[in-house]
Structure 1
Amino acid sequence: MKIGIGLPNQVRDLRPTVIPEWAVRAEESGFATLGTTGRIAYPGVMDTVALAAAAGATTRIGLLSHILLGPVWPATLLAKEIAGIDGISGGRLTLGLGVGTDERADDFVAEGCGHRGRGRRLDADIEVYRRVWQGHAVGGENPAVPQGTREIPLLFGAFAPAAYARMARSGQGYIGPAAPAQLVADSFEQARRAWQEADRDGEPRLVGVSYFAFGDPDAGRANVRDYYASLDPQRADFMATGVNSTPAALRETLQIYADLGVDELIFNPGTDQLDDVRRLAEVVL
């Protein structure tokens, strides 16, 4: 099982200058992947910006959005943005996509990209992404991307039956919820079942996500609670209980995900304290 670390791009009021240095330290520490979380109506750094900063600051580590809200973007614009980030990184990006939640309609701010119909729109957008990456003309005679642009691998996260079916139909795998580790097994089983029902060869790539905070665990839990507060207070409190803050808790989480047969586990930070990169690496790598 590979081990990755998230960028703190959606920690409330983070210091944006932390992101490139965090990426460099993560690569030097030996993490397999750098991840990002995506929201618009929240005081963080856009996931595409964080990924671009990480792409420019590193040379080897993989990049993953876990997850980016696809339907909040005009499809052609997002496809071009993602192709540019992947090109700058030398082909290290995997695009993890989701449709957003009913409770977070405020993320849908772009004209023509509203909250309603977002699942159907994402299905259509995926075809647009691929046409852009294949070099088809956009709005006239010119393609939007340079020659040699590849089709970026797609992963999907969510819980609805339509989301699992979309993953099996259009993706290379599934990103699980960032809930406490003991409660995520069913989502991965549903992803595997959807893959089989779609008659896909092999197995889906499975990625888990778990929160951590070492330097200031109370702040980490408060930040995670704040990030999920728009859902409901009880759920936000529940998500905060999943923040790993001791070596023993991190090792237990590692074992749970290893037993689930997950391909990769991303530890997502609850704070923007740079020294947490080192602390995490000392325990999990």
Structure 2
Amino acid sequence: MQIGIGLPNQVRDLHAPVLPKWAARAEELGFAALATNGRIAYPGVMDTVALAAAAGATSRIGLISTVLLGPVWPAALLAKEAAGIDGVSGGRLTLGLGVGTPERADDFVAAGHGHRDRGRRLDADIETYRQVWQGKPLNGDNPAVPAGTREIPLLFGAFAPAAYARMARVGQGYIGPAIPSRMAAGAFEQARAAWKRADRTGAPRLVAVSYFAFGDPDTGCANVHDYYSSLGAQNATAMASGIESTVDALRDTMKIYADLGIDELIFNPATADINEVDRLAEAVL
């Protein structure tokens, strides 16, 4: 099981210059991937911007969004943006996509890209992404991306049956929810079952996400609660309860996910203290 680390782009009022420094340090210490988590209606840094910053600051480490809300974007624009990040990184991007929840309708700010029908729109958007990445002109004669652009691997994260079916139909795998590890097995079981129902060969790529905070667990807990407060107090409290703050707890989480056959575990930071990169590396690498 590979171990990655999240970028702190989702921390409220983030001081953005930390992002490329964080990315470079994570690569230096040997993490397998850098991940983003983001919203629009929240004072952090957009997923795509954080990924672009990480792409420019590194040369080897994987990049993944866990997860980006696809339907908030016009499809051709997101496809071109993702292709640019992937190109700058030398082909290291995996695009993790979701559709959002009813409680996050405020993220849908682009005209004509509202909250309703977001799942249906994403299904259509995926076809547009692929047309863009294949170099097919969308309007006029010019393609949107340089020749040689690859089709970026897609992962999907959600709980709805339609999301599992979409993952199995057009994705390379599944990103689990950032809930306490002891509660996550069912989500991955459903992803595997959907893959089997779709008669896909091989196995889906499975990515787990878990929050951590070593230096200041209380602030980390408050940050995660704040980030998920739009889901209601009970859900926000549950999410915050999953933060790990000791070496033993993180290693227990690693064992749980390794036993579940997870391919990659992302430890997502609950604070933007760059020293957390070294603390996590010492604990889990």
- The interval holding the TM-score normalised by the smaller chain is over 0.9
Structure 2 counterparts to residues 18-29 of structure 1, below 5 A? 18-29=18-29
Equivalent residue, structure 2, for 1:70 = 70
State the 1:138 CA deviation: 2.2
SS in structure 2 of the partner of residue 4 of structure 1 = strand
1:35-79 deviations in Å (ceiling 9; x for gaps): 000210000000000000000000000000000000000000000
Query: C-alpha deviations, 1:207-266, integer Å up to 9, x for none?
Result: 000000111110000000000000010110111010010001101100110011000000
Letter in 1 for 2:107: D
Between the aligned partners of 1:247 and 1:220, the Cα distance in structure 2 is 16
Quote the Cα distance in structure 1 between the aligned partners of 2:14 and 2:222. 14
SS at match of 1:230: helix
1:147 is matched with which residue? Answer: 147
Distance 2:216 2:273 in 1: 8
In structure 2, how many angstroms separate the alpha carbons of the residues matched to 1:266 and 1:55?
17
Q: Which runs of 4+ in 1 moved over 3 A?
A: none
Give the Cα–Cα distance (whole angstroms) in 2 for the partners of residues 151 and 37 of structure 1: 22
Residue of structure 1 equivalent to 2:95? 95
Amino acid of the residue matched to residue 130 of structure 1?
R
Give 3-state SS (helix, strand or coil) of 2:248's partner: helix
- 1:55 and 1:168 map into 2 onto residues whose CA distance is 28
Q: Which residue of 1 aligns with 2:210?
A: 210
Paired letter, 1:163: A
Partner Cα distance (2:129, 2:236) in 1 = 33
> Which residue in 2 is equivalent to 1:83?
83
Q: Secondary structure at the match of 2:3?
A: strand
Q: How does 1:1-285 map to 2 (within 5 A)?
A: 1-285=1-285
RMSD of equivalent CA atoms: 0.4
Distance in 1 of aligned mates of 2:124 and 2:97:
13
Task: Output the CA distance in 2 between the equivalents of 1:146 and 1:204.
Answer: 29
2 CA distance for matches of 1:76 and 1:112? 14
Q: How many residues are aligned here? A: 285
Q: Give CA deviations for 1:75-120 in whole Å, capped at 9, x if unaligned.
A: 0000000000000000000000000000010000001100000000
Structure 1 unaligned blocks of 5 or more: none
* 1:14, distance to aligned residue in structure 2 (A): 1.1
Q: Secondary structure at the match of 2:189?
A: helix
